[in-house]
Structure 1
Amino acid sequence: MFFSKKSNQRLPKLLILCILVSGLVIAPSVVEDNLHWFNKPVLEVSANAQTQAGVQEAQPKQSNQDKNSEEEKSSKSEGEKPGKLDIFKMITGALAGLVLFLYGVTRMAEGLEAIAGDRAKELISKFTTNRYAGVATGAVATTILDSSSVTIIIVIAMVSAELLSSVQSLGVVLGSNIGTTIGAQIVAFKINEYAPIAMFAGFLLIFLGKTERWKQIGLIVLGIGLLFFGLDTIEKAMEPFEEYQPFIKWMETLGDNTLLGAGVGALFTILVQSSSATVAIIVTLASQGLISLPAGIALMLGAEVGTCADTLVATIGRDRPAIRTGVFHLIFNLVCAAVGVVFAAQLATLAKWLSTMLGAGDDIARQIANAQIIFNILGVVLVIGFLPLIARGLEKLIPDKQKGDRQAEALAK
């Protein structure tokens, strides 16, 4: 999606929104801690007057320790019961993390687009001499812009302006699917603890930067910090689900029914308008042990389909060549996702093997991130040789308008 230059005017409102939502997360925990302090049980010490002096001194200490351990065990067992979950705190925490994450992605994308947007267009136009160069260019541009949707929307605009041919645009679309996997790999390395440092550094660059370029760099750094801080907030909010049986059974259902998991992933991606956001959240929850590898792969496959929503919207009102680019993105992702659903077990095996080769071992988060890379690279390898045939097929499916139709449209305008 495109981010308007006027969005900086919404910065104070969005910051206030983040503060308010974060306050909803902090307030319940503060109140709960205070109530716990007031309701703290008084330890009862019983002493037998007829016991010896040494035993009389040791007995209260031992009884206190036993009672403390019993209270801790009982509190943990109560917290593990389904009815004892603080649903309000968990929902507000997850929403706060999601807001911070999406806001961070937006800020980072705006900074990247301001610094590298024009360069990305030049990169795409200069280095898409053939389909293979188009794949490489799409991967690099998506890595720079951190959004496959932005890359494809730029390509659609360039196709409309006749700056790219159909085959060149299809190659860039394929490359964008590879570039979008970089973010999941970064999230899988668990660098959330450094998020406050990035936020503070970005804040300083924005307010102390002497040039507009430094301010935009600060915006990028701040966005990265908010992104990972939001993921960390989501992770902490979801901690009670670690031993919550209904949630565990639901994740098992998504893992066993790959098609259902893909549907959930696609729906969530359409809602947040970012497959990178969906996969990042999946990887974060997997690092916490809340999502298994089969369930993560199913959700990831759905995210690959859900990301097509933005590009389809971007084709509205465009010429036929631009529409063909958007339709190709949808068909390619749908077909690949369908194949991925059928061979989900084999994909999981390959992801485990690659993770073992890279020294990740049983890290589910890394396995899901590696599964996404394998899935997208295999899809590109299998399709890239047929791009000329696919381009001709799309031209027959969505032919160019005849001269009479163009004249009629011109008169209508």
Structure 2
Amino acid sequence: MASSPLSISLLAASGLVLFLYAVSRLALALRHVAGERTKDILHRCTKSIPAAIITGTVVTTLLDSSSVVIILVIALVSAGALPFRNSLGVVLGANIGTTISSQLFAFDLGQYAVLAMLPGLLLLSLSKKRNGRTAGRALFCFGLLFFSLFIIGEAAAPLKEYKGVQAWLLKLENPVRGAGAGALITLLVQSSSATLGMVIKLAGKGLLTLPAGIAVMLGAELGTCSDTLLATVGRGRPAVRTGVFHLVFNLISISLGLLLVKPFTALVLLLAGHADVARQIAHAHVLFNVAGVLLFAPLLPLCQRLLEAALPDTTDPQPSSTLKPQVA
């Protein structure tokens, strides 16, 4: 068991590197498996607001990344393959779909990761077909995801002995401080999933309280907007409107979350007080994102009109750009 500050830092950093590698490769493998079918689904199944929200939720769950889905939507809107109004519901659905990851992280599956990693490695090594190798890579990375979180949790366990670390983590109970830390960490590691994974693991080791976990979670929601905004650079006005909507949606939702953090925390305790803190944070993530979608869904026609008025179409053609998405 790691005990010195240096060994703790090295072990935690190793776990984080493995996590970021696993989540990026998993998203890439799942996108290869989905292929053009994802674009076709987004085009055909987003005709109404409820259908768009459901489609965004399902596709994000399957691809395991809200940023990948939103950036794909921005590209489709930019190419004229998806109407701007249809993209709004998909953005909302993506925010629900990304909560599935936090629910999975709350399970302590790291010690069983080999049950996915070994078959995945065999399939990756022995399969002669590209789809088989891609499926094997996805399965291996899925197991590696939980193994890396297990490493992070084991590295964090000795931190209970360091009063300075405990005092700093307690300061995160301040909503603004916690949200700022969550946004900064997400910007640095370019993955809200990594931020939430670390938060859940720290809570599971008794190092993070529910109020602190909720505050950091709110900040992670804001930090994940950075890459989707970058994806709009050089694209047409409809695509820019989609990116701006994602930012505005998160800003308003997070602001309301910070203002109502005490009653929200009380509600989480009321609904999930029997669960451990790690599971409570995962439930809070679901509750917060679903509440935000329910709040915004009836307002989508108004949001469409406001954004079209604020960012009207231009006649000048806009070159498109391809950016590497962060994984959320």
Displacement of 1:125:
0.8
- Could you say which residue in structure 1 is the equivalent of 2:210? 293
1:262–1:301 CA contact under 8 A, matched in 2: yes
Q: Secondary structure at the match of 2:172?
A: helix
- Could you say which residue in structure 2 is the equivalent of 1:163? 81
Moved over 2 A (4+): none
Displacement of 1:197:
2.4
- Could you say which residue in structure 2 is the equivalent of 1:148? 66
The structure 2 residue matched to 1:334, chosen from 241, 248, 251, is 251
Q: Which structure is larger by alpha-carbon Rg, 1 or 2? A: 1
Alpha-carbon distance in 2 for matches of 1:260, 1:395 = 35
> Normalising to structure 2: TM-score of the pair?
0.94
- Could you say which residue in structure 2 is the equivalent of 1:266? 183
Q: Secondary structure at the match of 2:56?
A: helix
Q: In the TM superposition, what whole-angstrom CA distance separates every residue of 1:97-119 from its partner, at most 9, and x where no partner exists?
A: 00111111112111101101322
Alpha-carbon distance in 1 for matches of 2:76, 2:216 = 32
Q: Secondary structure at the match of 1:386?
A: helix
Unaligned runs of 5+ in 2: 320-328
The structure 2 residue matched to 1:139, chosen from 39, 53, 57, is 57
Alpha-carbon distance in 2 for matches of 1:391, 1:277 = 32
Alignment of 1:11-410 (within 5 A): 86-255=4-173, 257-356=174-273, 361-401=274-314, 403=315, 406=316
Alpha-carbon distance in 2 for matches of 1:362, 1:181 = 17
- Could you say which residue in structure 2 is the equivalent of 1:63? none
Displacement of 1:216:
0.8
Alpha-carbon distance in 2 for matches of 1:379, 1:294 = 19
Alpha-carbon distance in 1 for matches of 2:266, 2:309 = 39
Displacement of 1:86:
1.0
How many residues in Structure 1 have an aligned counterpart in Structure 2?
A: 319
- Amino acid of the residue matched to residue 334 of structure 1? L
- Amino acid of the residue matched to residue 148 of structure 1? S
- The more displaced of 146-155 and 222-231 is 222-231
- Amino acid of the residue matched to residue 160 of structure 1? S
Give the structure, 1 or 2, with the largest relative contact order (CA under 8 Å, sep 6 or more).
2
Q: In the TM superposition, what whole-angstrom CA distance separates every residue of 1:161-200 from its partner, at most 9, and x where no partner exists?
A: 1122222101100000000000000111211111122222
Unaligned runs of 5+ in 1: 1-25, 30-84
Q: Percent identity?
A: 48
Alpha-carbon distance in 2 for matches of 1:250, 1:395 = 44
Alpha-carbon distance in 1 for matches of 2:313, 2:256 = 31
1:107–1:222 CA contact under 8 A, matched in 2: no
1:117–1:145 CA contact under 8 A, matched in 2: no
